[in-house]
Structure 1
Amino acid sequence: MSEHNNRSLPTVEELRENQTDYHVGWRKREFSGWVDEQVSWKETCYIGDWSFLPEARLKGPDAEKLLSELSVNTFDDFAIGQAKHVIQCNEQGLIVAEGLLMRLDEDEYSLSANPAFWTGYKLAQSDYDASWKTVDTFNFQVQGPNSLKVLEELVDGSLRDIDFIHFADVTIEDQKVTAIQGNRNVTAIRMGMAGEAGFELQGPAEYADEVWNAVVEAGEEYGLEQLGARTVMINHLEACFPTRGRDYLPAIYHSGMEEFNQWKLENGGGYTGIVGIAGSFESDEITDYYRNPVEMGWKRNVALDHDFIGKEALAEEVENPTREMVTLEWNSEDVNDVSASLYRDETPYQPMDMPTEQKWNMRADKVLSDGELVGIATSRGYSYYFRKMLSLCTIDAEYSDPGTEVTVIWGDPDQRQKEIRATVAPAPYKEDKRRTNLNEFA
């Protein structure tokens, strides 16, 4: 059994001290270099490895009933071959888990990321007629304007008929590339995190390296880049995909969640306290780092057409949002002064990792207007494509209009802090091209 068994949940102080962990995913820190990798999803394409995300299968007559009870999403007209961003909350309407849900068959579903374990835990507590198990799969994203060309070099049949947020089984043929030995069946899901046309490829983990290498081989003539961990989160920032552990903490750290975290540990989910907290925002209450779906920009996902955990708390928030998700453009002169302070005979400001935070922390920085706290900035990162330092921000609704000027406080509480001017901009910052008609591509 793990040394973490029966360990109490981490406090805010312990999470703030947990500044040594780097994310284990995405294969390498960099491949060709973070600038080229970052430009790829706008100009060519990339392949990125999200296989670290847990996957589970839920099957049985009561599977949909359980999912409907746990999730803010509607399940009306949720067809076989369709996927959705599923969000699960607690009674207070705060996010416990969110990730990808796919309907595989009449009573069979695939769950990715934290919903895999939250759903399994809630099933274990119930008498619903369903089964749950984890599965070992790979999960590769191939995203960008050339992604379709790359994949059409590999697969038997057309990908152009797959609607957005739908999926289909396809075959990568061994005669088309040298990287695989025998045809490999994979699932192609039309979605991704870059805000561009693209697909996720999923299949048995035993074929992961073969499929990865096949995509890399086919992508050489189309400028495909392999996406490393150093810059991967910039696509989440530009396309506004708030992320667990970066933009919010899941509501699993407070008293009363010990049983779930122990169950998760015993069922392959790992120890909860792997993230860290950083930034100028300070609170002793762990719940101040939790978020609801509306302030994450996911209001459209909340369907009040069914009973679900957290419905009462979210109904008012949907009607009258307290905070909204925006992008902040950070003033370049102020950002440059942070770096320049390293070359002056003075106590420097806390350095900014480039292009974004390299340790897996929720960096929460205070956002002020006339000295009053009006928001929290997260996911600070430099976009080489736009030549701007950006961040996401949950901000009081009255300050959410584009063009509103605010101030970000940069620097941890024990560091010299810098006031950085910032301007509210839309989220997503980059044009969303995920729904582009694939028949428009040559």
Structure 2
Amino acid sequence: MPTIQQDTHRNTASLQQEIDAAGGPLGLLRGGRSGTFPFPIAPEFTNWRDEQTAWRESAALMDLSHHMTDLVVQGPDVIPLLSHVGANGFKGFGAMKAKQLIAVGPDGNMIGDAILFGIGENHVRIVGRAPALNWVQFNAEKHGYDVTIRRDERTVQNKQGRELYRLQLQGPTAGAIYEKVNGGPLPEIPFFHMGKFNVGKYEVTALNHRMSGFPGYEFFGPYEEFEDVRDTILEAGAEHGLRQVGGRAYASVATESGWIANTLPAYYSSAETQEFREWQSSRSFEATLQLGGSFVGETIEDYYLTPYDLGYNRMIRFDHDFIGREALERIQHQPHKKKVWIKWQPSEAARIVESYTLPGDQRHKYLEMPAAFYTGSQFDRVEDVDGNLIGFAMLTSYTANVRGWISLAVVDEDQAIEGREVNVVWGEPKGATKNPQVESHTVTKVRGVISDRPFTEGTQGSGA
């Protein structure tokens, strides 16, 4: 049996009881309590516009220490457990390597994703939002894998304080900053592998991956070293245009980079996942998650997405048995959705802002800048020009790099055509919601065009 060092969901009502009391999962989630996903760092260090452009024009330092949970899994059954839960292949995965975990339910729909950090032999830290981590822990307990599990919760739930800091430095001038703090060239670290180098007197462990499309690393170490490491980076980066990125700009990163982080985990309804719902707490991420946006489904299943819809096709490996394998094999050649960006017509955002001067409910839903999403999981209708539903806008942001508004969306494959005109329906159903954070408003349709990338040719480094 697994050893659970921190038990976060016992002695409360269950997720299933919450669903039953709300009259079903839609009732629970539409009345959810989470609001937006918090990034508990300073909102701005300078101003969010320049902080956004820094990751494309100079260098940006992001503090990832607080908003993600770490699930630490150790023991001889680490790889068997991950293989049981993950649709990825795990051949060759181990110490000083990383992988994006893709977890699906028995029906093949997404539970969630997270990053696996191979810390050592039979030792991983799974870092990300709660759904995938909770699914791993549940299956470890259910099937009795020989592992120990420790949760290093995100800061808002962590009275003990974080075990590790986690920073990310990326951008065109990041390489020069790294060499300066390391005292010379860095070791060669292949993509999605890890390596070690120095930040001043401290050794850090780094993952090579890209957020902004420019080279850089995510690196970590003991939290008590955080301030010295950060200050060393900031001092070295001053001559290279380095900016710290605050919570406002960081919230828009996913929209630019193309990562749909706010999918709805697909374990709210099926008989196969009922045991999870009975295991999970009424205080959990899943029980408090808030579902919002202009799309109104008839059932919770209308909100589920598959890894094919999110562009994870290349990561799926049918070389091992895993939860949901049969379902994914069955649907792999069927039509799917495709991830795209929708570029808003500039005048549309101006029209929404102008509506705030109108009396009564003539105003449209408030358009926060830079990240406009306002719930934990947002599904805004994407329609063709005739008003037919073709997909969902999941994340909408203004970005100074595009000089405009973009929505990261999934649309039907046959509609995912560069330059095709579409409408994003902006606002809550009937202009009202149980969420007290959402004001009364009038729903509106926003004109835009589909694009397969957020930036046009020649914009790299210019922000034009």
TM interval, short-chain normalised:
0.7 to 0.9
Determine which of 216, 220, 231 is the counterpart of 1:198. Answer: 216
Q: Is the 8 Å Cα contact of residues 326 and 395 (structure 1) preserved in structure 2?
A: yes
Alpha-carbon distance, 1:15 to partner? 3.1
Determine which of 116, 130, 133 is the counterpart of 2:133. Answer: 116
Letter in 1 for 2:266: A
Residues 277 and 348 (structure 1), Cα distance of their counterparts in 2 relative to 1, 3 Å cut: same
- Pair 1:162 & 2:189 matched: yes
| Residue in structure 1 matched with residue 435 of structure 2 by the alignment | none
| Residue in structure 2 matched with residue 132 of structure 1 by the alignment | 149
| Residue in structure 1 matched with residue 109 of structure 2 by the alignment | 94
Alpha-carbon distance, 1:154 to partner? 1.7
Q: Aligned partners of 1:32, 1:89: CA distance in 2, in Å?
A: 40
Structure 2: which 5+ runs fail to align?
1-7, 20-24, 153-162, 432-441, 458-464
Work out the percentage of aligned pairs sharing the same amino acid.
28
Letter in 2 for 1:66: L
Q: Secondary structure at the match of 2:247?
A: coil
Letter in 2 for 1:130: V
Q: Is the 8 Å Cα contact of residues 141 and 192 (structure 1) preserved in structure 2?
A: no
Alpha-carbon distance, 1:119 to partner? 1.9
Q: Secondary structure at the match of 1:117?
A: helix
Structure 1: which 5+ runs fail to align?
174-182, 432-442
Residues 111 and 361 (structure 1), Cα distance of their counterparts in 2 relative to 1, 3 Å cut: closer
- Pair 1:67 & 2:78 matched: no
Q: Aligned partners of 1:200, 1:224: CA distance in 2, in Å?
A: 16
Q: Secondary structure at the match of 2:355?
A: helix
Determine which of 227, 230, 238 is the counterpart of 1:209. Answer: 227
Q: Aligned partners of 1:49, 1:261: CA distance in 2, in Å?
A: 33
| Residue in structure 2 matched with residue 302 of structure 1 by the alignment | 316
Letter in 1 for 2:12: N
Deviations 1:44-74 (A, max 9, x none): 1111122231113322222212211110111
291-300 vs 101-110, greater mean Cα deviation = 101-110
| Residue in structure 2 matched with residue 39 of structure 1 by the alignment | 53
16-25 vs 415-424, greater mean Cα deviation = 16-25
Q: Aligned partners of 1:156, 1:118: CA distance in 2, in Å?
A: 42
| Residue in structure 2 matched with residue 419 of structure 1 by the alignment | 445
Q: Aligned partners of 1:215, 1:262: CA distance in 2, in Å?
A: 46
Letter in 2 for 1:227: V
What is the TM-score of this pair, normalised by structure 2?
A: 0.82
Q: Secondary structure at the match of 1:378?
A: strand
Q: Is the 8 Å Cα contact of residues 26 and 227 (structure 1) preserved in structure 2?
A: no
Residues 209 and 365 (structure 1), Cα distance of their counterparts in 2 relative to 1, 3 Å cut: same
Alpha-carbon distance, 1:426 to partner? 0.3
Deviations 1:176-202 (A, max 9, x none): xxxxxxx32321111143232111111
Q: Secondary structure at the match of 1:314?
A: helix
- Pair 1:392 & 2:408 matched: yes
Determine which of 132, 148, 153 is the counterpart of 2:180. Answer: 153
209-218 vs 143-152, greater mean Cα deviation = 209-218
Deviations 1:371-405 (A, max 9, x none): 21111112111121111211111111110121222
Q: Aligned partners of 1:2, 1:122: CA distance in 2, in Å?
A: 15
| Residue in structure 1 matched with residue 439 of structure 2 by the alignment | none
Deviations 1:265-300 (A, max 9, x none): 69xx95433432222101253333332111112111
Letter in 1 for 2:110: I
Q: Aligned partners of 1:263, 1:159: CA distance in 2, in Å?
A: 46
| Residue in structure 1 matched with residue 199 of structure 2 by the alignment | 172
Q: Secondary structure at the match of 2:143?
A: coil
Residues 338 and 291 (structure 1), Cα distance of their counterparts in 2 relative to 1, 3 Å cut: same
350-359 vs 417-426, greater mean Cα deviation = 350-359
Q: Aligned partners of 2:285, 2:259: CA distance in 1, in Å?
A: 24
Q: Aligned partners of 2:31, 2:70: CA distance in 1, in Å?
A: 30
Q: Aligned partners of 1:43, 1:381: CA distance in 2, in Å?
A: 19
Count residues in correspondence. 418
Q: Secondary structure at the match of 2:286?
A: coil
Residues 4 and 205 (structure 1), Cα distance of their counterparts in 2 relative to 1, 3 Å cut: farther
Deviations 1:164-184 (A, max 9, x none): 1111122322xxxxxxxxx32
Q: CA RMSD in A?
A: 2.7
Determine which of 254, 278, 289 is the counterpart of 2:292. Answer: 278
